[in-house]
Structure 1
């Protein structure tokens, strides 16, 4: 690992070359600054896990030099891992009021609320951490108080965009502060580290105000129950849905923990002031169907979300059926297609009418399309462009656009250490990167034995043999084999495997049968051979051995 106390470097540990799990590091004269700490979801590539976080081992080993963690906004892929990883970082955390309100609830659930030094920074405010002077700059996005960061160092200014768009009427919160961006651009920007999510999308992302105008007209002639699902953190969208409900004479109830938490954080910070408190799930049952609108979590088909349970008719309090309408006021995040299709199929099977952004103005993206990227490059005019927050095709498209705008693009992936100054920027080294799975209340390495075994069980199954032997190693009673998902207990093949397994163990040499470790390993090998002769798969095989007195 190259080490220096006299440079400015950028290192993404997550979120570059992928979407989600954003964890970015800056090093200036030996001092480190972290920007964002988010999570990602397993999806089809990792069906064995629901939630993943970036492995922070590199910066955890240097936490004595870590000055702070700055959160740009309150989306899960930017703050969702803080409660999981802070114990390894042990640094102050800085966020705007709304972001801090969301984070406090997560820290409370993790038992960390009184432990994490959480500092609230006003939108557009500034902080100084060692060699870093950090100016927060308001940007429009699909969550309140999103902030870009102008990071001034002895080597120059880095503009860290966070997630953003240029929206002339974002409905909630201010427009993107183009004047401040231009002011920094006029003074000179060394590099811009910038969002690439929609770098393949031509045109403009659209305005949140367009959705607000469209929703009442869509709802006005609908009968039965209306349910809308959207990203819980999109407070502007939630407010637009509630105002549309009011315009068409419907009461609003919400279902889903994420929605309730966001509502509480939003009202705490003065948002949703023009919207009455939402009804809970129990109160919704007292409202006539034609006068009820439900806002449900689960726009991405999350298995345990309110929308998924309603679609499967397994929600304890909410049901939808023939004559009802569900509006998906969200986009499909790549990787979630199958889960969303399953939810929509389940709803359609129940006679529910579906509305999506394919057919109606029910969603606009919170990320910049290519026209907006061109606009920010015209304002900031960085010498170097560092595309982040996207898969490689997004980064490459962003790099081409940046080059056309006059910036020199610098392509990198998670783990690349990019020295920005002094001298010509270049990748000088790499840091260890990886993913940790959130498994209940613990973190498990994605590459470790626990998840490897789980993947093998998912695709190839598991076979467990049980033996009771006496002190000499003779089998007592009948051996048992359990192979859920592979063989039924009454399958004749199971009986034949048990017989072969029993015979193989009985034929082992007497000294080996008196040693527990050797006997268990030999029994596993015998069972593995018995299964292998009958199947084309290689399931996980284990043996439970119990020794009793003669």
Structure 2
């Protein structure tokens, strides 16, 4: 079960056949390279607490071979890509490579959870190229819904692989440089043996909206409002944070941040120069003392999470802000499948107190933009790169099948779908061995501070 020197393998332990908790392995010449280490949130409808379970891939296969690991690369700062590092890194005990912004987020998360910070934690810049043991790795800056997201061009002897990570095309990203598929036109992309590609939106026609479109939609929605306004979004979306701060300045409002994760993300973004220094939030403690027409808050809890800032506002238990008739909550986030009941309950509680609710799922304006490619973006990718092989990941079976079909119809010589534990041969001859490695899930018990099999 050791990769030979004349072959390159791909082995997903998490994130293939599901959306979330990514853990990917590349094997070559007796060594392993890990890409991402994330969590997922599972809702227990029978739970009285209302809090989701924190689950992550079981790394037992690679933990038993940790002496063969050359490194772990974290592609970006989303929970489903880095959230398991504070829990699982002691089992792996290997160098961790990531960009400065993501490293800042990882330090915050490790400190908050009281876990051991990975060592060494090696910072790389987008566009850097490093030799990591048996693997030549180049970080490729792309656009997504958090800064410094990078695809990876992984080279081994006789094989070149593009690991896309999460991506989209965005010509107006608000934060960070723009990117489009045409930017990948150099010689290094010729003759790709394989593309390991994000499948999240493969069932959706068209293209993902730009963050710039969301900024426009939020301004148009918010400008006429006269009462207090709360915008709910994912804490990791720094572009959305920047847009709300700019809108506050443009409309004469004062913006405050409600939620620890938002405050942490703001500090990480500010420390890495991703926020305009002229647009700063006020302390959340000051919001309640402002005239209603000046109040603008950005809040966590768009998925109906019990205990998050938006839940406390709906229950009128937030210590620093109270909402009522004439006020508005704008959901600048889509409802993640599985969270429909929790979000509907949250909206019902808000409206029961005569608070107006505008949800991005139902608005004619663009109030949220996915960070993942829709069908036209995937088609552009495959027609441009024309790889020998495409392996869809980061999706359930129907998403990955749709992605594979798009690939084969638009320039890929072949496409293989599978699930966690399947061993994909990338070179010299493409193929797959089903359920080659054992996989599973671990669950974090917060009260006991330990992991159990899920």
Q: Which TM-score band applies after superposition, normalised by the shorter structure? A: over 0.9
d(CA) in 2 for partners of 1:429 and 1:62?
A: 18
User: Residues 378 and 438 of structure 1: is their aligned pair in 2 closer, same or farther, counting only changes over 3 Å?
Assistant: same
Structure 2 residue ranges without an equivalent (≥5): none
Contact 1:60 1:89 in 2 (8 A): yes
1:300 aligns with 2:303: yes
CA offset at residue 3 of structure 1? 6.1
d(CA) in 1 for partners of 2:90 and 2:46?
A: 26
d(CA) in 1 for partners of 2:288 and 2:213?
A: 31
1:314 aligns with 2:317: yes
Task: Report the count of equivalent residues.
Answer: 447
Aligned to 1:37, the other structure's residue is in SS state coil
RMSD of equivalent CA atoms: 1.8
Contact 2:420 2:435 in 1 (8 A): no
Contact 1:306 1:315 in 2 (8 A): yes
Residue in 1 aligned with 2:390?
Answer: 385
Aligned to 1:367, the other structure's residue is in SS state coil
Q: 1:98 aligns with which of 97, 101, 106?
A: 101
- Which structure 2 residues correspond to residues 263-412 of structure 1 after superposition, within 5 A? 263-357=266-360, 358-359=362-363, 360-407=365-412, 408-412=414-418
1:247 aligns with 2:250: yes
CA offset at residue 361 of structure 1? 1.7
Write the deviation string for residues 140-173 of structure 1: whole angstroms up to 9, x where unpaired: 1111111000001113111000000011111111
- Which structure 2 residues correspond to residues 106-125 of structure 1 after superposition, within 5 A? 106-112=109-115, 116-125=119-128
Deviating 4+ runs (over 6 angstroms): none
Aligned to 1:254, the other structure's residue is in SS state strand
- Which structure 2 residues correspond to residues 430-441 of structure 1 after superposition, within 5 A? 430-440=436-446
Residue in 2 aligned with 1:10?
Answer: 10
Contact 2:445 2:452 in 1 (8 A): no
d(CA) in 2 for partners of 1:61 and 1:442?
A: 22
Write the deviation string for residues 467-488 of structure 1: whole angstroms up to 9, x where unpaired: xxxxxxxxxxxxxxxxxxxxxx
CA offset at residue 405 of structure 1? 1.1
Write the deviation string for residues 472-510 of structure 1: whole angstroms up to 9, x where unpaired: xxxxxxxxxxxxxxxxxxxxxxxxxxxxxxxxxxxxxxx
Contact 2:130 2:136 in 1 (8 A): yes
Write the deviation string for residues 330-377 of structure 1: whole angstroms up to 9, x where unpaired: 111111111111111110111111112221321111110000001111
By relative contact order (CA 8 Å, sep 6+), the higher-ranking structure is 2
Structure 1 residue ranges without an equivalent (≥5): 448-550
Q: 2:236 aligns with which of 226, 233, 237?
A: 233
Residue in 2 aligned with 1:442?
Answer: 449
> Larger Rg: 1 or 2?
1
Q: 1:212 aligns with which of 206, 212, 215?
A: 215
Q: TM-score normalized by structure 2?
A: 0.94
User: Residues 224 and 428 of structure 1: is their aligned pair in 2 closer, same or farther, counting only changes over 3 Å?
Assistant: closer
CA offset at residue 317 of structure 1? 2.4
Q: 1:427 aligns with which of 416, 428, 433?
A: 433
Bigger mean CA offset, 5-14 vs 88-97: 5-14
